[in-house]
Chains A and B, each alone.
Chain A
């Protein structure tokens, strides 16, 4: 309703009421767009919606129903019918202290990754404006290479960089005076191992942030910066009061996207731990996977996945508002 109103209102006025008898077929086109064309957009959307409903809508409903059922191996092979168990799965999960540790760990991990990604990304984007052209090109090459790197490849490479015996990272650290990291196993402890994984996530995520922010920075009017500087603002002042407000929509978008992606980190942990993350490495995603496919409790796994989705909803709401605003500007 309101979408139709706003879009119609934004059409250039002359087009809405073309002078009668202008061109032969002209009055029809715009008018059809405005009023009678309701069938056309739905026809265009039909294939897309059909596919999404079939391959996404159904599983989504199944995810919800599953989490209220008892569904293990017997039900998977059809020996037993799944029976409804109400909130049993949820109360079992919420009463499990390990689950809460996983939740806290996931939130810390995601928050850390997002903050690092955004801060480092912003610093590099600002740096890009100050370096010479050839340095900029070099940085861009490195960024694009790391951005385009498949996650699995990147994870494999980081595993190699941080290998306890032959990893270059330990060797380089040990070159520092007073540091002996030879043979140090980064994955012996959860926090250290997750720090390495966070580094991997940030390394992979920064390029998108830098390139998007750089595109945004070119939109900041030079005159405004100039004016702020004349008014006595320092570099920080210009950034805080001119650059940041203009970039705000991009920053909101990037941050929410990062939260969504970093809450969903899976292959990085899974592959880094050879498919069997230890208790100290479990994040909500791997924990749900573990419950479903290792313990063969698909219902509990689904319940955990559902809780993850609900946790994300808050963030998504912010993102949606932003995207809708964008959708309306058209």
Chain B
């Protein structure tokens, strides 16, 4: 693979300084070595702005929202809704009522699988996912299909880790009730042609859910441009807090679909004979939400927006290209996932060496990578491997860290072979 590494930026600067300075957790040693953190697809570290926002919330406005008439409750409610507006602008949704706070990507997908399933899916219908889905975008659909007597169909991929679009087109028929695909693969790094997938599905009258957990922090996501019906992502993978996520849904769908969980904010009036549900987005936010997470998610959105998502994409693409070019030169290494369009992650496999062994030795050298199946067991089965060693990038990673990774990887291989 020809890679031009000459113009690659060595590190992302923020206010003229390395951006890593904004992330306190990065400044520590593990086993006596400076920490190098390459497990960003699992979760990212948090900048001071997000950490301060969490502290600020609890120090000043901690209160339950949407109920109290008192000052703090109103402040917290305002901040909660301001954050919702910020997220709406971030993904360019038409209205903030299309933005629902969830626990995370998995929660959002489960919500849609459940309510859409009961609304639209009947025995003999089918659901389409892809061969590179994360377990979170497989299991909720399996559960729903089992409940409804529907069939789960899988878009196959080629050896490079690219979806076979012709096969997808052939799979679309009147029994396909929903298509759910990942925007970017957490294991292979493949950027899927989601816009084309959505066009084809819509031509078949089928709505589409996009798993954007690995996308929003790496590429610009515009729900109106994509024209997706649903889209889910998580706060903690985009420099924000854990336990908070977003489900975007087109208003016409969310209005039509039945409620998910009962209680709290999702009601307007309740009597023992019946309940009138609240309007969007509150209809899908039962109970006291993760207020702190929702409010401080705005800081993560602001952080990404301030850096510029296109600048982030260009920088991380440089890291990916640089790593790819160096890894390719090491004998006995296969890159798993060689799609033309990639972002965020690089998976590799060392001939004759178990990924677990590589991961343990890198850890002892201070490098955090992920090893194993990355919750995409079908992908591992496809390549007939037990797992991969995965590096996944964030804006604070540097070319120096990659150089250190390459020399550490060579050292580990020497010890193991």
A binds B: no
Q: Which residues of A contact B (CB under 8 A)?
A: none
